[in-house]
Amino acid sequence: MSDYEPLKFYVPEPTGRPGDEPDFTKLIIPDAGSARKPAIDCRPQEIKDLATTIIRVMNRDGEAVGPWAEGIDDDVLLDGLKAMIRTRAFDERMMTLQRQGKTSFYMKCTGEEAIAIAHKLAQTKGDMNFPTYRQQGLLLATDYPMEDMINQILSNEKDPLKGRQLPILYSARSHDYFTVSGNLGTQFIHAVGWAMASAIKGDTKIASAWIGDGSTAENDFHSALVNASVYKPPVVFNIVNNQWAISSFRGIAGGDEATFAERAHGYDIPSLRVDGNDFLAVYAVSRWAIERARRGFGPVLIEWVTYRVAPHSTSDDPSKYRPKEESTAWPLGDPILRLKNHLIARGLWSEERHAQAESEYDEEVRVATKEAESHGVMGAGSSPKDMFEAVFEELPPHLREQRQKMGV
Amino acid sequence: MPQMSMIEAIRDAMDVKMAEDDNVVVFGEDVGYFGGVFRCTHGLQDKYGKNRVFDSPINESGIVGAAIGMAAYGLRPCVEIQFADYIYPAYDQIVSEAARLRYRSGEQFTAPITIRTPVGGGIFGGQTHSQSPESLFTHVAGVKSVIPSNPYDAKGLLIAAMEDPDPVIVFEPKRLYNGPFDGHHDRPASNWSKHPLGDVPEGHYTVEIGKASTFREGKAVTILTYGTMVYVAEAAVKETGIDAEIIDLRSLLPLDVDAIVESVKKTGRCMVLHEATQTSGFGAELAAQVQERCFYHLESPVVRVAGYDTPYPHAQEWDYFPGPARVGRELKAMMEAV
């Protein structure tokens, strides 16, 4: 007889499924202001504790406390709040467009707005982002024409991407926004290559790489970290841990017990874990990481702890795979509400101004949408000729022949 | 004119481009200090510094992925995948990223990268150092594939690839690195120093991507081939006395369809010959092109001679390799067909 019990196969499960009560007891939330702020040139092994805590700045009363609260301009906070309101208004309208059958697809970033927007505001023009599909805030925090985003979503005659790309997979080189791939994770190593090039050429620009908790399981995540570990290029790795990858909770990406931030330790890359719904914390830590990279101290990895309030996309229904009340029970709150309360407490904002901003951005989105719709919806206005262009710089003979046969 | 091996010609191409263009960087596994396992980058790190020639981790997806990011910045990376058999981890980066950037970004971002990789068998390398995966890439929209068969073309095609605005994979038949190989593994190896195609001009020149060359003129049958098999075809022609025209395609995508059609219409017969496995191999595309464009000129069916549809074996290499005896048999059979 064998001494061994038969082995059991293990598949992790989230703390709740539909019908269950939300349970976030596993998420240990330290007090705001309790995490230390290390020197910009610290060695990675000196800050391992910051990969398991959650760096937070705003306390329950909306006060900014602790070492990470220092030196943030009021204008940044006001700009950030406005950009978040603008982004949420945009998302709501685009969702409606999809429901109306004017676009095939949309993805909202509800609840995650602070991360892309605060990070963007901490960057300098020329710092390049390698985003996923849920960083529309990187564009909406800038003067990138909103109408062009909608033209892309509608795949109409003014679509900057000529109808060739799925809605929301934008590309905006003029605004430091790399072409988004639907193959997840691939951009993480591109950011490293871009940052290597910046160092090779003696530039001072940095790259920001973006990935979701689920896609950290892709091999490109390892490729990016190992290459960053080897060459120490100026790259900031952003893991947006929003708890869910469609219906798979973070544990299916190996993030149930260990934090995503801790993964950097084996690569000798400093890492920090941050409250992604705390605009001040996102801004302060982004600024620290970007400054560190730009000063030549190499890569930084940041895990932004947040919650995907929205469905993954217009193609899924979260009530089929997670507790219905989970998003409202999320203990780190709503990023817009938290920054709003902070600014009101400091006398920099008011309920009236907030309501006014909401209606102004609703109107901006409405006008931009109307204008974009006049150029066609759901692919109307796209040209079959564009299908054959830009496969290569020059049309090769076999494509010319195929285009001629098609008669365009 | 200098005599060069294919290795020296490839190295010279990179040297020429690195001297001309500060944005050219070269990296890959063992390519820096050591100069590459086949010595193709030997001396380049000494000459151009570690900023421009360096070793990479054993991480092919990272090599190509980093190159794409560098190209987005504005560099011109030329990377080495140590063996084509190792290219599969990079497949997603090549297919979904490098090949698609221009298309999906409205031409805001492009990937003018060159991927060099030794290909093919004949070195007793077993299944992980002998494969010919070219058709996995010719099937992909947005990436070009070339495969030189001699030092002159190797240098000219590599320079053309490094100047191309789009990603190009340069498949380097490793059995040809040091000399032409006719498939007779049991005879003494020859080298490029005694071959006219080992004459390689100094400095800058290009061989146009998308243009085949007529390796041997003939009237009886057209052999469409590339890489090592060019010399196998030549040996089979000598041994059978069949007056075949050998077309060295050099570029698989874009493909020089005009050269193919012109030759097949002249000879009326066509053999498609490659080392890679037969089913869904590049030969299937060639046979289809010939059928579509030359059907009424054909006097016999198009014949494919290719690697068997097995993994590349080790001990049985010379049973597997489509050598001159097998090619000769098939040629004779074609000529006897009515």
Please tell me the CATH code under which domain A44-315+327-377 is placed: 3.40.50.970
Which pLDDT score is estimated for A381? 84
Alpha-carbon distance B234 to nearest alpha carbon in chain A (angstroms):
29
Specify the long-range contacts of residues B285-291, CB closer than 8 Å, at least 24 apart.
B285/B135, B285/B138, B285/B255, B286/B224, B286/B260, B289/B255, B289/B257, B289/B260, B289/B261, B290/B224, B290/B260, B290/B261, B290/B264
Identify which of A173, A223, A390 has the shortest CB distance to residue B103. A390
Angle at the Cα of A326 (from A321 to A331), degrees rounded to 5?
Answer: 145
User: Is the CB of residue A173 less than 8 Å away from at least one CB of chain B?
Assistant: yes
User: In chain B, which residue ranges form alpha helices assigned H by DSSP?
Assistant: 6-20, 44-48, 60-73, 91-92, 101-104, 135-138, 151-163, 229-240, 257-267, 282-294, 317-320, 324-336
Rounded to 10 degrees, what is the CA torsion of A162, A168, A169, A170?
70
pLDDT in tens, A174-192: 999 999 999 999 999 999 9
Alpha-carbon distance B258 to nearest alpha carbon in chain A (angstroms):
10
Whether residue B222 contacts residue B242, with contact meaning beta carbons closer than 8 Å, is answered with no
Inspect the interface and report whether the beta carbons of A164 and B101 lie closer than 8 Å.
no
pLDDT in tens, B286-330: 999 999 999 999 999 999 999 999 999 999 999 999 999 999 999
Q: State the amino acid at position A330 in one-letter form.
A: W
User: Is the CB of residue A192 less than 8 Å away from at least one CB of chain B?
Assistant: yes
Inspect the interface and report whether the beta carbons of B65 and A207 lie closer than 8 Å.
no
- Chain B residues closer than 8 Å to A222 by CB: 59
Q: State the amino acid at position A199 in one-letter form.
A: A
Judge if pTM exceeds 0.90: yes
Of residues A17, A112, A21, the one with CA closest to residue A325: A21
Catalytic residue from among B42, B129, B195, B204 = B129
- DSSP, collapsed to helix, strand or coil, labels residue B146 as strand
Of residues B133, B37, B152, B38, the one with CA closest to residue B90: B133
Residue B124 CB coordination number (10 Å): 12
Query: Which residues are registered as beta bridge partners of B214?
Result: B247
Q: State the amino acid at position A16 in one-letter form.
A: G
Cα(B54)–Cα(B174) distance, integer angstroms = 22
Inspect the interface and report whether the beta carbons of A173 and B144 lie closer than 8 Å.
no
Gyration radius (Cα) of chain B, Å: 19
- Indicate the helix (H) or strand (E) that contains A331: none
Q: At what angle do helices A335-345 and A351-373 cross, to 10 degrees?
A: 140
Catalytic site includes residue B129? yes
Cα(A233)–Cα(A267) distance, integer angstroms = 13
Beta carbons within 8 Å of A57's beta carbon, 6+ residues apart: A32, A33, A64, A65, A66, A68, A69, A275, A278, A280, A281, A284
pLDDT in tens, A92-127: 999 999 999 999 999 999 999 999 999 999 999 999
Inspect the interface and report whether the beta carbons of A193 and B72 lie closer than 8 Å.
yes
Q: State the amino acid at position B109 in one-letter form.
A: F
Question: Which residue in B has a C-alpha nearest to residue A159's C-alpha?
Answer: B106
Alpha-carbon distance A239 to nearest alpha carbon in chain B (angstroms):
19
Query: Which regions in chain B score pLDDT beneath 70?
Result: 338
Cα(B77)–Cα(B71) distance, integer angstroms = 7
Of residues A233, A222, A218, the one with CA closest to residue B54: A233
Which pLDDT score is estimated for B338? 67
**Strands lying side by side in the sheet with B213-216:** B213-216, B244-248, B221-225, B270-277, B303-307
User: Is the CB of residue A195 less than 8 Å away from at least one CB of chain B?
Assistant: yes
Task: Quote the distance between the C-alpha of residue A154 and its chain's center.
Answer: 22
Alpha-carbon distance A98 to nearest alpha carbon in chain B (angstroms):
21
The burial class, CB within 10 Å (0-12 / 13-18 / 19+), for A174 is: exposed
Query: Which residues are registered as beta bridge partners of B118?
Result: B172
User: Is the CB of residue A210 less than 8 Å away from at least one CB of chain B?
Assistant: no
Cα(B189)–Cα(B191) distance, integer angstroms = 7
Which pLDDT score is estimated for A382? 86
A202: left (phi over 0), alpha (psi -120 to 50) or beta: left
A&B contacts, CB < 8 Å = 142
Q: State the amino acid at position B242 in one-letter form.
A: I
Per-residue pLDDT at A1 exceeds 80: no
Alpha-carbon distance A366 to nearest alpha carbon in chain B (angstroms):
26
- Chain B residues closer than 8 Å to A183 by CB: 92, 96-97
Chain A interface test: which of B54, B56, B59, B143 (most A C-beta within 10 Å): B59
pLDDT in tens, A377-406: 998 988 899 999 999 999 999 999 999 999
Would you say the ipTM is above 0.90?
yes
Which pLDDT score is estimated for B194? 87
Which pLDDT score is estimated for B282? 98
Residue A61 CB coordination number (10 Å): 10
Inspect the interface and report whether the beta carbons of A173 and B105 lie closer than 8 Å.
yes
- DSSP, collapsed to helix, strand or coil, labels residue B28 as strand
**Which tokens is A376 given?**
């066609």
User: Is the CB of residue A196 less than 8 Å away from at least one CB of chain B?
Assistant: yes
Whether residue B270 contacts residue B221, with contact meaning beta carbons closer than 8 Å, is answered with yes
- Chain B residues closer than 8 Å to A156 by CB: none
Establish whether the linkage from the previous residue to B254 is cis, with ω within 30° of 0. yes
What residue ranges of chain A are covered by domains with CATH 3.40.50.970? 44-315+327-377
Whether residue B122 contacts residue B185, with contact meaning beta carbons closer than 8 Å, is answered with yes
- Chain B residues closer than 8 Å to A149 by CB: none
Question: Which residue in B has a C-alpha nearest to residue A128's C-alpha?
Answer: B73
Alpha-carbon distance B34 to nearest alpha carbon in chain A (angstroms):
18
Pairing mode, strands B213-216 and B244-248: antiparallel
Residue B127 CB coordination number (10 Å): 13
Inspect the interface and report whether the beta carbons of B65 and A190 lie closer than 8 Å.
yes
Kindly indicate the confidence band of residue A132, based on its pLDDT and cuts at 50, 70 and 90: very high
User: Is the CB of residue A217 less than 8 Å away from at least one CB of chain B?
Assistant: no
Question: Which residue in B has a C-alpha nearest to residue A208's C-alpha?
Answer: B69
